[in-house]
Amino acid sequence: MGEVTIDRLTRELSAGVGAIIDGRHPAPGAGMRQAAVLVLLDQPSDPAVLLTERASHLRKHAGQISFPGGSVEPGETASGAALREAWEECGIDDAGVRLLGELPASSLPVSSFAVTPVVGTWSTDRQLEAVPSPDEVDAIHMVKVADLVDPNNRGRWSRSGRPVLERKGLVSGGGSGGEIGGAAFRVGDVVIWGFTAMLLDGLLDVAGWSHPWDTGRRIAVPRRFGGWD
């Protein structure tokens, strides 16, 4: 695999890239609540992306790997909301973030949000330091893009148990009451699935980082990251 840099990603965002979802997830519907997430890369060459492990005590999406983010408050822009949430969840100083652009909003049907991904890179000589807020975040993971694009770390997520998303038409049945969904990643002991993995999958395509991977491989979602096993 060649060197991973953000050059093409920067060009695409500057040119106003079109939708990256390409049917991976439903487009936002009218009246959906607005939210934003920060997709933060730590450096231009061989970058890692900052991901949070949501606190296990949260009522919704507990334990899932996510980008820092949340609701867009009245009077805020998507970029402003993403930076604010990154400060609140991870202690990221927005003065050190260079925004590259925004990706088109896509829907998160289980929460009725239209989510705008805001892409940025750490722009100072200081090392990126993030401190999880215990109210919202159990851990912070800096995951190398080179590991995300490795075909050995890719597959489609699966979990057994309550087929909630299948009933909503968002995944296919996996048998025995299970679910098989879209793109997923397993890097070390970290499993990334659901909306976050869908956005990463699209981002890798936009940036020209993707490599062919086995869509027949299943990555089981453990309880720690939102599974039911």
Return per-residue pLDDT of the chain as tens, 229 residues. Answer: 557 888 888 887 876 655 555 555 556 666 789 999 999 999 888 999 999 999 988 877 788 999 999 999 999 999 999 999 999 999 999 999 999 988 888 887 677 789 999 999 998 788 898 999 999 999 999 999 999 999 999 999 987 654 444 444 444 454 444 566 789 999 999 999 999 999 999 889 888 899 999 999 999 998 898 876 5
Give the N- to C-terminal CA distance of the chain in Å, as an integer: 35
∠ CA 21-27-33, rounded to 5°: 120
Phi and psi at residue 228, in whole multiples of 5°?
Answer: -115, -5
Question: Would you list the domain boundaries of the chain?
Answer: 7-225
| Extended strands (E) in the chain | 33-41, 48-54, 65-66, 69-71, 97-102, 106-108, 113-122, 137-144, 154-159, 172-173, 179-187, 190-192, 218-220
Amino acid at 22: D
In this prediction, residue 25 carries a pLDDT of 57
H-only helix segments in the chain:
7-14, 78-90, 145-149, 164-167, 194-206
Phi and psi at residue 216, in whole multiples of 5°?
Answer: -85, -10
In this prediction, residue 17 carries a pLDDT of 57
Cβ-contact 197, 182 below 8 angstroms: yes
Cα four-point dihedral sign 219, 148, 199, 142: positive
Tokens of 49: 């992306």
Report, at the CATH architecture level, how domain 7-225 is classified.
Alpha-Beta Complex (3.90)
